[in-house]
Amino acid sequence: MELNPKAIRGSFVDFVDDPFFRAETECVRYFQDGLMILEKGKILEFDSYANLSDRYANLPIETYEGLILPGFIDLHVHYPQTEMIAACGEQLLAWLEKYVFPTELRFQDPDYARKIASFFLDELLRNGTTTAVVLTTIFPGSVEVLFEEAQKRSMRLIAGQMLMSRNAPEFLINEPHKAYAENCELIHKWHGKDRLLCAITPRFAITSTEIELSLAGKLKAEFPDVYIHTHLSENLKEIEFTSSLFPDCIDYLNVYEQFGLVSDRSIFAHCVHLSNSAFQRLSASGAAIAYCPTSNLFLGSGLFKLDQAKSEAYPIKVGLGSDVGAGTSFSQLKSMGEAYKISQLQGQSLSAFKAFYLATLGGAKALSLDSKLGNFAQAKEADFIVLEPNATPLLRLRNSSYTGDSFGDLPGDLYRDLDAISSQLFGLMILGDERAIKATYVNGELWQSSD
């Protein structure tokens, strides 16, 4: 890593507050001509070029066209499912049996696992995702190689060994006490090393015995700043099966509650079918939801109630998950696009600023990492991307025809600027993909694809 400071100049967009609860124009920050000073992987200073340039006149400056945003945060993704993305024809439980479980078996071979981990992390970075919360397999080696490859790339990554002890093929069953010991070892070795953090990851209630969930709770009590990351209320048949396995629990969330797995460092993927009570209890706990739009559509799981999760009365921390391989893209732009459509189907509307908030500062808050990630505040880690709003001929035509939109009635240049930026970002979330990611910086350094 370079020890000397350097500077990035261009148009910067980030968020300083949650646009679901305040006027968007107060939450988004835009410097048409901004300057960001990087040192040792962190943001030393960030302001308009005019305000900063004199003091850093001698620094080398990299200037970018396009829009510079914080790196995307992916709250839920399965790296062993990379190769079986787009598997046809089933909903959740049958899809797991038919496609996922046989694929995960391959990850008992650490060499194979490393090959996929490497591809997976590069694919995230190619798509502008710099932080990910990742599920693995029951094989400890599959976790080791993922952490090693993320460490090589200086990425922020949260992962743990998958816990499974029933309702799965024999080859994916791990004895809970053995898994407990393996998890302890992984946590000791990796949690807090460089930018890596650990999570305790029961696959979902269905594949865990009560003993295993108890041991997960014990682990959580012993390592309170380790995350819990699992699935919750994705699919109606899954919920029904869970209820039959845990008849004493009042609902699915209550299974995790019973074992001490619900706190402000818990991330629950999906939450498509939650009762009002579960929404309220999640809000009170401080736990976060990983909203996975492309996956919810691909598996036909249902329409996530984003408006309820972001209600004034019981607000919940929400970020976006790609959920590859049930998700259909590593691109959080695609997650945003499908989230827009899911909102539209429910008669709601998801603005570009709200969507990009979910993928940046919203994700950082969901992880309680907003003191380190999510926007360009001083001293935060320098993970950022350069977006090209005119990445395709169609986007170029569309943007060149833009004549003003939602904030057009507000006075002043800033609002006109925000209006145009909002339109460009919306274009990217509906029409964009990895071709729009011109550069990805991780920990202050430009990532370069190996292919």
Please state the closest distance from residue 82 (CB atom) to a copy of itself, in A. 7
CB neighbour burial string for 87-106, b if at least 16 within 10 angstroms, e if fewer:
beeebbbebbeebbbebbeb
381: which DSSP letter?
Answer: B
Please state the closest distance from residue 233 (CB atom) to a copy of itself, in A. 16
Please state the closest distance from residue 50 (CB atom) to a copy of itself, in A. 31
Q: 345 or 446, CB closer to a copy of itself?
A: 345
Q: 123 or 381, CB closer to a copy of itself?
A: 123
CA distance 36 to 38: 6
For residue 16, the tally of other CB atoms under 10 A from its CB is 15
Q: 10 or 389, CB closer to a copy of itself?
A: 389
Tokens in use for 296? 């919810």
Rounded to a whole number of angstroms, the CA Rg of the chain reads 21
Q: 63 or 344, CB closer to a copy of itself?
A: 344
> Which of these, 132, 95, 159, 157, lies nearest to 325 by C-alpha position?
95
CB neighbour burial string for 331-358, b if at least 16 within 10 angstroms, e if fewer:
bbbbbbbbbbebbeeeeeebbbbbbbbb
Q: 59 or 303, CB closer to a copy of itself?
A: 303
CA distance 146 to 134: 9
Q: 42 or 115, CB closer to a copy of itself?
A: 115
Please state the closest distance from residue 92 (CB atom) to a copy of itself, in A. 11
Which residues bind to a copy of itself, rule: CB under 8 A?
Answer: 82-86, 88-91, 102-103, 119, 123, 297-300, 302-303, 328-330, 337, 340-341, 343-347, 349, 351-352, 393-394, 397-398, 400-401, 403, 405-406, 422-423, 426-427, 430-431, 433, 451
H and E: helices and strands count for the chain: 18, 16
Kind plus residue range of the DSSP H or E element containing 293: helix 293-298
Q: 215 or 425, CB closer to a copy of itself?
A: 425
Question: How wide is the angle at C-alpha 86 spanned by C-alphas 85 and 88, nearest 5°?
Answer: 135
> Which of these, 390, 426, 392, 423, lies nearest to 405 by C-alpha position?
423
The neighbouring-strand residues paired with 14 are 29
Please state the closest distance from residue 286 (CB atom) to a copy of itself, in A. 31
Please state the closest distance from residue 35 (CB atom) to a copy of itself, in A. 30
CA distance 369 to 362: 10
Please state the closest distance from residue 57 (CB atom) to a copy of itself, in A. 41
Please state the closest distance from residue 79 (CB atom) to a copy of itself, in A. 12
E strand residue ranges, 175-329: 196-202, 227-232, 266-270, 288-291, 317-320
Q: 4 or 401, CB closer to a copy of itself?
A: 401
